[in-house]
Every structure is written in structure tokens, then in C-alpha cells.
Structure 1
């Protein structure tokens, strides 16, 4: 899950750059989509950390 989160963050950052370069509605749509990717990537990384924490507690 961590790899998926990292990929989403990278794609989101690239999307923000592309959204700034494009014009009008297309730029807005690209920026919104890339922000969604960034937020999802952060969520995947946070979920992965919590799953690891829970699995370590069960092993103890």
C-alpha cells in the first residue's frame, strides 16, 4: 500500500504542474484531479502505517 501511496503523490504533483500550465477549464479539472490523487496517496500511506502498527501489536 505504501508504494501505491507514493505513486499517487508523484502523479498528483505532476498533475498540479500540468494543471498550472494548461488553460481555463482543463487546468482546473487537472488540478482538482491531482489534488484528489495527493490526498488519496497521503491516505494510503497513513493507512499503511496504522495497519503495520496494528499487526505489530497483535504479534506482541
Structure 2
């Protein structure tokens, strides 16, 4: 039961974050850069191919 409640809270937080990012293209850009920074800071063998947000926008649904 406790795990299910945690999952519900996490789902709500994720939904709220998605709504904020959907309302602000700058927020999406900042999150993208934060993610790239986090991945590149780790000591691993991950290969990153950063793509322009404009290119990715063609794959997103239009509102």
C-alpha cells in the first residue's frame, strides 16, 4: 500500500512537471541542457548525440 501511494505521488509530480514544461519552451530547453550536463558529468562510456530542440519538435504532437 505504501509503495502504491509513493507511485501515485510520483505520477502526480511527473504530470505537473510535464504541464510546466509544455507551457514553456524555455523550460524544455533548460531541462534538456540539465540532462546533458548530468549525463556528461558521470564517469561512464555513454555516447551523447545532442540534437537541436527544433529538430526534436517535429516528433512532438502539435497542440
- Same fold, TM exceeding 0.5? no
TM-score of the superposed pair, with normalisation by structure 1: 0.40
* TM-score between both structures, scaled by the size of structure 2: 0.39
Higher RCO, Cα 8 Å, sep 6+:
1
Would you tell me which structure has more helix in proportion to its own residues?
1
